[in-house]
């Protein structure tokens, strides 16, 4: 799976100059899960990541390169939850290393698409207690309301990240997961929104190819994406050979 590699390689440019903090994944550190969507009332909230018109961006990339995701880890750029005061800009990026979920075989290509989609949907299955996620697949926003009680109990990005990784690792396709949280003031949130859009376009193109498309690149509406994304043309023509 190389389709998202160029986006992953560009992620360091989005993160600003703050020295990051790295946390190894420990499933025992996952924050308690509410088991289902839990409403945090405004009066119980300490602040919102992405509230009051601040940025709230999220995207997930999949790769098979061990160089791009060496191990399970959580990385934090900028102030952690305990240091934040008031609503704040926020970006979460998940990068997932998968095994061989892509090949020239038609069924395998479909399986690759389903796997990528399922991994993006993990965000709808993680319910950290006192950390109310509101996500939108249409505009790549992920707004989070953090409760005062969760802060008092010691919630942190390392622990919320462990909750995400625990959920990703339940999928047998996932070999390693890196979850990056960003609140740094100098991060490039507009650039991150563009990346999120590019990720969505790649996944949509994959879906279009699976529906069956003509193979005349000259008249294909996906040509601008295929010209930029390594592996997309090979995937389409491989599928038609199958």
User: Judged by CB under 6 A, which of 217, 228, 230, 242 binds ligand SF4?
Assistant: 217
Contact flag: residue 207 with ligand SF4 (CB under 6 A): no
**Ramachandran bin of 131, using left for φ above 0, alpha for ψ from -120 to 50, beta for the remaining angles:** beta
For residue 97, what is the enclosing H or E element?
Answer: strand 90-98
Q: What does the alpha-carbon distance between residue 209 and residue 233 come to, in Å, rounded to a whole number?
A: 10
What SS3 state is found at 69? coil
The piece of 89-97, 110-118, 140-148, 230-238 that touches ligand SF4 (CB under 6 A) is 230-238
What is the size of the binding site for ligand SF4 (CB under 6 A)?
Answer: 11
Question: Quick one: 182 exposed, middle or buried, by C-beta within 10 A (0-12, 13-18, 19+)?
Answer: buried
Q: Is 226 in the site for ligand SF4 (CB under 6 A)?
A: yes
Interaction between residue 209 and ligand SF4 (CB under 6 A): yes
Q: How far is the CB of 207 from ligand SF4 (least distance, A)?
A: 11
Stretch that binds ligand SF4, among 136-144, 154-162, 170-178, 207-215 (CB under 6 A): 207-215
Residue ranges with strand state E in 21-72: 21-24, 45-49, 56-63
The reply to whether 152 sits near ligand SF4 by the rule CB under 6 A is: no
User: Which stretch, 31-39, 120-128, 185-193, 225-233, contacts ligand SF4 (CB under 6 A)?
Assistant: 225-233
Q: Which of 88, 92, 145, 236 binds ligand SF4 (CB under 6 A)?
A: 236
Spatial distance between the Cα atoms of 234 and 109, rounded to a whole number of angstroms = 11
Q: What is the CA radius of gyration of the chain?
A: 18
DSSP bridge partners of 147: 45
As measured in angstroms, the least distance from the Cβ of 202 to ligand SF4 is: 11
**What is the side-by-side order of every strand in the sheet holding 90-98?**
21-24, 73-77, 174-182, 90-98, 56-63
Treating both helix axes as pointing N-terminal to C-terminal, what angle do 106-120 and 232-241 enclose, rounded to 10 degrees? 140
Q: Does 210 bind ligand SF4 (CB under 6 A)?
A: no
Give whichever of 21 and 200 is closer to ligand SF4, judged by the CB atom.
Answer: 200
Should residue 117 be labelled a site residue for ligand SF4 when binding is judged by CB under 6 A? no
Q: Is 220 in the site for ligand SF4 (CB under 6 A)?
A: yes
Minimum CB separation of residue 121 from ligand SF4 in Å reads 24
Q: Is 222 in the site for ligand SF4 (CB under 6 A)?
A: yes
Nearer to ligand SF4, 13 or 228 (CB): 228
223: contact with ligand SF4 by CB under 6 A: yes
Instruction: Please say whether the dihedral angle defined by the alpha carbons of residues 194, 199, 200 and 205, taken in this order, is positive or negative.
Output: positive
Give me the residues that bind ligand SF4 (CB under 6 A), please: 209, 213, 215, 217, 220, 222-223, 226, 232-233, 236
């Amino acid at each position: 799976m190389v389709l998202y590699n160029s986006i992953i390689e560009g992620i360091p440019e989005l993160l600003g100059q703050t020295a990051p903090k790295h946390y190894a994944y420990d499933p025992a550190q996952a924050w308690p899960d509410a088991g289902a969507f839990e409403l945090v009332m405004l009066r119980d909230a300490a602040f919102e990541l992405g509230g009051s018109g601040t940025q709230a961006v999220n995207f997930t990339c999949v790769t098979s390169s061990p160089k791009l995701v060496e191990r399970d880890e959580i990385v934090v750029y900028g102030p952690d939850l305990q240091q934040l005061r008031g609503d704040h800009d926020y970006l979460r990026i998940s990068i997932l290393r998968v095994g061989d979920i892509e090949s020239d075989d038609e069924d395998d290509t479909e399986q690759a698409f389903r796997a990528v989609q399922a991994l993006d949907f993990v965000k709808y299955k993680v319910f950290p207690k006192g950390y109310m996620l509101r996500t939108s697949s249409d505009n790549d926003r992920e707004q989070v309301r953090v409760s005062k009680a969760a802060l008092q109990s010691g919630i942190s990005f390392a622990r919320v990240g462990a909750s995400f990784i625990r959920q990703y690792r339940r999928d047998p396709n996932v070999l390693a997961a890196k979850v990056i949280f960003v609140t740094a003031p100098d991060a490039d949130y507009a650039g991150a929104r563009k990346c999120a859009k590019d990720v969505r376009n790649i996944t949509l193109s994959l879906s279009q190819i699976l529906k069956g498309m003509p193979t005349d690149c000259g008249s294909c509406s996906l040509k601008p994406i295929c010209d930029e994304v390594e592996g997309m043309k090979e995937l389409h023509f491989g599928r038609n050979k199958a």
